[in-house]
């Protein structure tokens, strides 16, 4: 680069950041990805060991290069996704600065200044925030949660069932993460699955491709998207099917409050539990953008087609439907980047 400061800084080198980089490389702009991690993989590097995508590899790829077919019954494993992302970086020679944890983004004249905890900073004419949600796990505020003496762990920090062998475990959350984690925990622990409503299980032959297309259609306002399926509906991966066959997929509605040793249910009955595993989702990881005065209470920023409404030099990618239809998925991140990067480039060139 002829200048120490790039035209565009992309914060985050996970799937959304890499998709943005693919399309930036087609422009005349200098760009740099800043990533807090030590290695490739983004949020995938922090997920549980047995995590599986709920779509085949061909439907879970970044632009330009299809993910190789999975070796595990068609649904890519965590390791396969991380390997794919690492090779993708190399294939396209993506400029990434690692161990670069962004503390703040502030205005500096005609530029946005991206600051690091050690006081160093870079300026850019535009910033794309693509930090996703993994570092902002959400836990609902149940009464008495702070007095419970057992283990509480969010799915963001769950790795495998080994610490829970022969324990009494409450798994809270009815999405695909809750179902996958419950499936393997129920093999080694006594589990109770808590969901807000009865989980929706898709037919065995339907996978994440259908969910993605319907979620995208709804986000785009397609009046024909009348089917009730959502990205929260549970795909019957092999491990989940096995749990169903064991009778482990029954669920209970939310409890009323915690006690020191467990929970009390709405009917007044009590259950003793050793651990609670929160599979209750995430919020946007946008703390670094708070100095701009744009971040709302739920972590979101008002955007118009991925561009911050009140700061046109800031763009957002990969946080969910509010930053592009299904943009928190591999394929959705690709489609979102393809749509907005040319507009970003046009604003600078």
Range of weakest confidence among 56-65, 178-187, 281-290, 291-300: 56-65
C-alpha dist (Å) from residue 124 to 1, 4, 30, 110, 121: 13, 10, 10, 9, 10
pLDDT in tens, 197-209: 998 888 877 765 6
Closest CA to 327 of 16, 14, 13: 16
Residues 6+ apart with CB under 8 A from 282: 133, 134, 136, 137, 138, 156
pLDDT above 90 coverage of the chain, percent? 79
Q: What is the mean pLDDT of residues 320-347?
A: 93
Domains and CATH numbers, the chain: 8-136+283-348 (3.50.50.60), 151-199+234-278 (3.50.50.60)
Which pLDDT tens digit goes with each residue over 207-261? Answer: 656 655 655 555 455 545 445 545 458 888 888 999 999 999 999 999 999 999 9
Higher pLDDT, 118 or 228: 118
Distance, CA of 179 to CA of 115 (rounded, Å): 39
Identify the band that residue 338 occupies on the pLDDT scale cut at 50, 70 and 90: very high
pLDDT of residue 229: 45
Average pLDDT across the chain, whole number? 91
């Amino acid at each position: 680069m002829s200048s120490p400061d790039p035209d565009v800084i992309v914060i985050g080198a996970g799937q959304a950041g890499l998709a943005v980089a693919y399309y930036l490389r087609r422009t005349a702009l200098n760009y740099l990805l800043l990533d807090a991690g030590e290695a490739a993989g983004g949020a995938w590097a922090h997920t549980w060991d047995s995590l599986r995508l709920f779509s085949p590899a061909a439907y879970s790829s970044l632009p330009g290069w299809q993910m190789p077919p999975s070796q595990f019954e068609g649904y890519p494993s965590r390791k396969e996704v991380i390997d794919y992302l690492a090779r993708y970086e190399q294939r396209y020679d993506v400029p990434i600065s690692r161990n670069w944890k962004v503390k703040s983004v502030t205005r500096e004249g005609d530029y946005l200044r991206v600051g690091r905890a050690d006081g160093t900073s870079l300026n850019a004419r535009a910033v794309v925030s693509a930090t996703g949600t993994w570092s902002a796990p959400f836990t609902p505020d149940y009464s008495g949660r702070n007095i419970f003496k057992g283990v509480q762990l969010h799915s963001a920090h769950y790795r495998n069932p080994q610490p829970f062998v022969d324990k009494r475990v409450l798994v809270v959350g009815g999405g695909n993460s809750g179902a996958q984690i419950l499936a393997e925990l129920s093999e080694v622990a006594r589990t109770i699955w808590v969901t807000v409503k009865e989980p929706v299980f898709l037919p065995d032959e339907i996978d994440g491709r259908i969910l993605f297309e319907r979620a995208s259609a709804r986000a785009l306002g397609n009046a024909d998207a009348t089917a009730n399926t959502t990205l929260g509906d549970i795909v019957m991966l092999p491990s989940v099917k096995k749990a169903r066959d064991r009778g482990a997929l029954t669920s209970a509605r939310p409890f009323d409050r915690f006690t020191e040793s467990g929970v009390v249910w709405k009917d007044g009955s009590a259950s003793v539990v050793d651990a609670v595993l929160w599979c209750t989702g995430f919020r946007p990881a946008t703390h670094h953008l708070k100095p701009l005065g744009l971040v709302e209470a739920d972590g979101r920023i008002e955007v118009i087609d991925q561009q911050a409404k009140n700061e046109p030099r800031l763009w957002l990618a990969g946080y969910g439907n509010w930053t592009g239809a299904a943009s928190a998925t591999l394929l959705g991140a690709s489609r979102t980047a393809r749509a907005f990067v040319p507009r970003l480039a046009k604003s600078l060139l």
